[in-house]
Amino acid sequence: MQLVKLLVLIFFSISPTCLFAADLLEIYCQAQTNDPTIQAAREAQLATQEQLPQARAQFLPVIAATASNIAYHQSAGVVNSSNSATTSTTSSNNTSDISYNQSIYGLTLTQPIFYYQQWIQLSTAGAQVKQANATYAAAEQDLIVRTVQGYFNVLKAYDTLKFSKANRKQLAKILDQTQLKFKVGLIAITDVQLAKAQYDSALADEISNENALANQKELLREITGQPTEIFAFVREDLTLKPPEPTNPEKWVMTAVDQNFELEAARFGAEASRTTIKTTQAGHLPTLNINSALNRSTPIPGTPSTTYSNIGLQVALPLFSGGGVSSKTRQAVHNYEQTQKKVEALYRKTESNTRQAYRGVLTQISQVAAQKQVIISSDSALKATEASFNVGTRTIVDVLLAQTALIKAQQNYAIARYDYIIQSVLLKQAAGNLCPEEVQHINSWLVD
């Protein structure tokens, strides 16, 4: 029996068309594994981290080996000589050709002693690695936000479809009632037409909402790479709590210190600042130790040779056509640009944090208000229906009351989902959003 269960589990896990139930935590685990955006961010982080060992490598010696083999061939020849008085011919004939090979081996070593640019480039690489790490941390938080938004957007679409179906069914009952009353002469044909028009509109909304739900599932699938059809929903008894601490400026202070996008921008500005020193160092001298060892095999009639050398090499740039000065000015402008971007992101972070904080409080108030609206709308609908049955209210009043109730129920559900999303956005802005928050939100869900 256990073997059968295992085989069934394996089959559904490898089936490309398998549909599985998932709560938010399961969706997030799938996103961590399959989301191409976070995978690309990880590769970018790893690629940037290689800049640090590359910068360190500039301080280490460079050793190169060379080898060559030269083939020589000397053929026999004839030498002729003559003058005006007498003519003579002297022949010098070699009985055989001469062929031989000569091999040359070499080893060179270059050890940088003073390269100010290399020290600055090491600092630049360190700042770039820190920037990459902060950027990846921001991407991890963005994955949580995208997953939460995608998941609850699906739940919004589910509830919207559910309420539109309920509305359509209720309007169908109202339509049946109006048709019966018209047949016995209690109401005019106009009331039937109004009820029919409202029903047709509700049916069109239901079809549109079915398509919207399918689209939201596809958007979530872009993150997870897996189809999901069964979702867990928010508990009805969920208690909505205001942000802690309750002072928005404390959230802003935390965001200024911990927001990963802002931190990455600051490290980017630091890397840009060190680039100015790197370009300025183009005017400075450089110092190397150069050493070489060469050996050649003997050729006929000569001994083999070995020679070596070691020395200091100093290079002092005298004139580069103004290129170094131009690059320095360019680096200064680039640094000023990054500083302005940091300032803009600083202001945006403050604004986003305050907006998210107010958003959480607003959704708490909205949930409470919409809950009361549902109670009032339900009472109003019942009273309107009773009045319509005795002839004191029109069908238009009934239809409006029915629409108001459905709208209040939908707004109530959406406000609860938006409360969760705003809470996540607030923690993202503050830089303290972590996977444990997904587990916490997941505890609010039920099948």
Output the tens digit of pLDDT for each of the chain's 447 residues: 444 334 333 433 444 444 444 699 999 999 999 999 999 999 999 999 999 999 999 999 999 999 988 887 777 654 444 444 444 444 444 456 777 787 888 999 999 998 888 999 999 999 999 999 999 999 999 999 999 999 999 999 999 999 999 999 988 988 998 899 889 888 889 989 998 998 999 999 999 999 999 999 999 999 999 998 889 999 988 999 999 999 999 999 999 999 999 999 999 999 999 999 999 988 889 999 999 988 887 776 677 788 888 999 898 888 888 898 999 999 999 999 999 999 999 999 999 999 999 999 999 999 999 999 999 999 999 999 899 888 888 888 888 898 899 999 999 999 999 999 999 999 999 999 999 999 999 999 987
What's the one-letter identity of residue 373?
V
Nearest Cα neighbor of 262 from 358, 147, 352 is 352
Q: Can you list the alpha helix ranges (DSSP code H) found in 225-313?
A: 248-258, 260-280
**Residue whose C-alpha is closest to residue 155's, from 27, 8, 326, 263:** 27
Contacts of 81 (CB under 8 A, 6+ apart): 88, 89, 90
**Identity at 199, one-letter amino acid code:** Y
Residues 6+ apart with CB under 8 A from 89: 80, 81, 82
Strands (DSSP E) found in 316-447: 445-446
Nearest to 351 by CA among 262, 235, 236, 242: 262
Q: In sequence order, what are the residues at sequence separation of 6 or more whose Cβ sits closer than 8 angstroms to the Cβ of residue 253? A: none
Query: Cβ of 131: how many Cβ atoms within 10 Å?
Result: 21
Give the three-state DSSP class for 310: strand
| pLDDT attached to residue 76 | 60
Tokens of 34: 């399959």
What lies within 8 Å, CB to CB, of 447 at 6+ separation is: 21, 23, 232
Amino acid code (one letter) for 70: I
Reported in sequence order, the residue ranges of 368-426 that DSSP labels E, i.e. its strands, are none
**Is residue 184 helix, strand or coil?**
coil
Q: Is 339 exposed, middle or buried (0-12, 13-18, 19+ CB in 10 A)?
A: middle
Q: Cis peptide before 112, with omega less than 30 degrees from 0?
A: no
